[in-house]
Amino acid sequence: MPKNNLFVFCLVMVVFFNQPLIVYSQWRSLFNGKNLSGWNQKNGKAKYTVEHGELVGTTVANTTNSFLCTNEEFGDFIVELEVKVDPAMNSGIQFRSLSKEDYHNSQVHGYQMEIDPSARAWSGGIYDEGRRDWLYIPNINPDGKKAFNVMGWNKYRIEAIGNTIRTWINGIPVAHLIDDMTPKGFIALQVHAINSAMDEGMKIRWKNINIQTANLKPSPTDNIPVVNLLKNYLSEQEKNQGFNLLFNGTDFSGWRSVHGTSMSDKRWAVKDGEVTVAPSDGAETGNDIVSNEEFGAFELTFDFKLSEGANSGIKYFVNEQYDSQGKSGIGLEYQILDDEKHPDAKNGVVGNRTLASLYDLIPSYKIEKRFQQKIGGWNQGRIIVYPNNIVQHWLNGFKVVEYERKSNIFLALVARSKYEKYEGFGLNDKGNILLQDHGNAVSFRSIKIRRLK
């Protein structure tokens, strides 16, 4: 090949092979490394400076949370940045966030990817600043809790595409949230307020802040738990993990009366995508409903809403061969109760009839009130039965009960409970899922289940 032709050929190949970079590389920087151009500060009075190409936030006493916000707003995006924080601080990265005069005097509010160097290790979790509090607590993703490097730099990644929000730290997936409250807003770097016992002058550093807003390609699905706040909706990741809707959001297909062959026509109703049982006299009525299918090892997730003073439960490994004497079906129970107003909270032994307890057997760990929804709000429950018979109850992102079914300890607990008269209670290899009618108004939605192997 002549030298001139060879040169032209090489030039064409260079252009050809570099072309995808020109078309698909859509990253741009949000921080120029020199000054705060493109950013503005809201709310608190923490100091924001630029040092050696890094954006630095410094704590100041006697001020509220401070936010350095982008002038631009972003809807769908992927953002990556690096962060290094004083181990005694708390901080976060706001996104799809807002500040409006008609909302708490322009308080910044919206989604936040947590920066938490404390022993709690919730870095990468998703918090709703100024609104709903915690949305995704990494307790449900133990591997994600290990991703944060307390003493060094950490690479943060946020994907916000449609109603799917995902976070990574140092390449490890931490949170996967499905939510549609805020579709668009600014990105902000938080310096958290400090209390009187904390020092002024603590620093957090950010660098290499880059964003994509076009030609977005979501990362492949993975196996971390999903917190899905959309009613009766299965995300792609949930589908890939094997979840199915146990309640379809429309009718009672797949359900029937306990000890019966058809669905109860008393008090149960589906409205606005919710299963609701109407109140009666507050007593066990035998009007429970059960899934047609039986389950052995499984993971069940559900939302529930209590009325004031209400009592109910979700039961599993229900055994309809037992004679319940016209009362509730017999099975292991995730207690659903207004602990403040219902007297059953004070019955049983050491609180084993309180919210999320294994009813009459094991009391639940009591989480802070701030992590429980008030009466009339939706709480998220989770029951996991592993193939090795380890069982867990979860409430709003906290594991509150763990026990080993069929163990000697379990058998001893049953022998000292109201279930001692039911031979083999809780030992069946599979059973139905039951929603209890205890004579009070209770609602359920987003009831999902997957079988575990």
Q: List the CATH number of the domain containing 275.
A: 2.60.120.560
The boundaries of the domain holding residue 249 are: 242-451
- Give residue 281's pLDDT band: very low, low, confident or very high (50, 70, 90): confident
pLDDT band at 284 (very low <50, low <70, confident <90, very high): confident
Asked if residue 309 and residue 185 are part of one domain, the reply reads no
* pLDDT level of residue 1 (50, 70, 90 thresholds): low
| Mean pLDDT for the chain overall | 93
C-alpha 162/C-alpha 67 separation (Å) is 24
Give the global pTM.
0.91
**Residue 11 in this model has a pLDDT that exceeds 60:** no
- In the chain, what percentage of residues exceed pLDDT 90? 90
pLDDT at 16: 44
- Looking at residue 398, its pLDDT comes to 97
- In this predicted structure, the answer to whether residue 23 has a pLDDT above a threshold of 50 is no
Q: Domain for residue 5, yes or no? A: no
Q: What is the pLDDT of residue 286?
A: 87
Is residue 19 included in any domain, yes or no? no
Instruction: State how many domains the chain has.
Output: 2
Whether residue 4 lies inside any domain: the answer is: no
How confident is the model over 396-423, as a mean pLDDT? 97
Task: Please check the confidence at residue 380 and state whether its pLDDT lies above 70.
Answer: yes
Q: Let me know whether 197 and 265 are in one domain.
A: no
